[in-house]
């Protein structure tokens, strides 16, 4: 199914990402807040499935995955954080998480143009009135530098700042399909990995079509089963 950014998560975002993390050696345990916390082998990165116990929303959708990093395992300060709602394609989130541990998958010296370049290389267009944003033809999704949401911030004391936010809005009269937000401290190179995976033309397999995006999707071969 294409495009990937409108393909949804097939209702398996929690299990697919969780299985990937445990397969990479991350440790998982349930918390007292009814969430599932995964900790990387070096103790510097965490990914938490928070939908059941996290009241924060993005675009009116509850946050599902929250990814954070720290400089030291015993530090209470978050270096940066990224939040994702359900509906984000699992393939995109997995590639983002993989790049955390693989410097060959990211450019640690990238700037904001790296993110926008990743989008335009796959046919997205920069907004003529706001060049720090890009959308595909049809304006069904957007990745943009925006003011940080008030409840999703890292430990950087400089406020206010802009951060990368992304969303899919395939129909103007329906809720967002998904939303994502990266705090201002998130390296541009990692957001560029997210943007590249999000916009790649490679089809993804799905069993369920997201109803809000169905008219924009193209089924390729046998990627959808009844």
Task: Compute the average pLDDT of residues 9-17.
Answer: 96
In this predicted model, what pLDDT tens digit does every residue of 201-214 receive, in sequence order? 999 999 998 999 99
pLDDT the model gives residue 157: 63
> Which domain does 68 fall in, by range?
4-216
pLDDT, residue 152, reads 67
Instruction: Place 158 in a pLDDT band, splitting at 50, 70 and 90.
Output: low
Q: What is the mean pLDDT of residues 151-169?
A: 79
Calculate mean pLDDT across residues 121-148: 96
Q: How confident is the model at residue 160 (pLDDT cuts 50, 70, 90)?
A: low
Number of structural domains in the chain: 1
**Please, what is the average pLDDT of the chain?**
91
Confidence of residue 226 (pLDDT cuts 50, 70, 90): very low
Q: In this predicted structure, what is the pLDDT of residue 156?
A: 65
pLDDT at 177 over 90: yes
Q: Is residue 92 part of a domain?
A: yes
- 186 in a structural domain: yes
Is residue 41 one of the residues assigned to a domain?
yes
pLDDT of the residue at 166? 98
* Residue 224 included in any domain: no
Q: Does residue 76 belong to any structural domain of this protein?
A: yes
Of 53-57, 81-85, 92-96, 167-171, the one with minimum mean pLDDT is: 53-57
CB 61 within 8 A of CB 179: yes
DSSP reduced 3-state for 15: helix
Band of pLDDT at residue 217, cut at 50, 70 and 90: very high
Q: Is residue 221 part of a domain?
A: no
Instruction: Report yes or no: 155 and 77 within 8 Å, Cβ to Cβ.
Output: yes
Residue 223, pLDDT > 70, answer: no
| 3-state secondary structure at position 51 | coil
What counts of helices (H) and strands (E) characterise the chain?
Answer: 4, 11
**126 pLDDT higher than 80:** yes
Residue 141 resides in a domain: yes
82 vs 86: CA distance, rounded Å: 13
> Does residue 225 sit within a domain?
no
């Amino acid at each position: 199914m294409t495009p990937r950014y409108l393909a949804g998560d097939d209702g398996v975002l929690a299990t697919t990402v969780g299985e990937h993390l445990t397969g990479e050696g991350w440790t998982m345990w349930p918390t007292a807040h009814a969430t599932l916390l995964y900790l990387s082998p070096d103790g510097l990165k965490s990914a938490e499935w928070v939908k059941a116990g996290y009241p924060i929303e993005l675009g009116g959708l509850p946050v599902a995955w929250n990814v954070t990093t720290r400089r030291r395992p015993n530090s209470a300060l978050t270096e940066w954080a990224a939040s994702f709602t359900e509906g984000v394609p699992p393939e995109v989130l997995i590639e983002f998480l993989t790049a955390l541990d693989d410097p060959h998958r990211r450019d640690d010296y990238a700037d904001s143009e790296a993110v926008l370049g990743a989008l335009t290389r796959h046919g997205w267009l920069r907004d003529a009135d706001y060049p720090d944003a890009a959308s595909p033809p049809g304006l069904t999704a957007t990745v943009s530098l925006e003011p940080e949401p008030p409840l999703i911030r890292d430990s950087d004391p400089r406020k206010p700042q802009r951060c990368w936010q992304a969303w899919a809005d395939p129909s103007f009269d329906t809720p967002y399909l998904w939303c994502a937000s990266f705090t201002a401290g998130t390296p541009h190179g990692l957001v560029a990995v997210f943007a590249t995976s999000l916009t790649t033309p490679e089809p993804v397999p799905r069993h369920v079509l997201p109803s809000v995006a169905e008219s924009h999707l193209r089924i390729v071969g046998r990627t959808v089963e009844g």
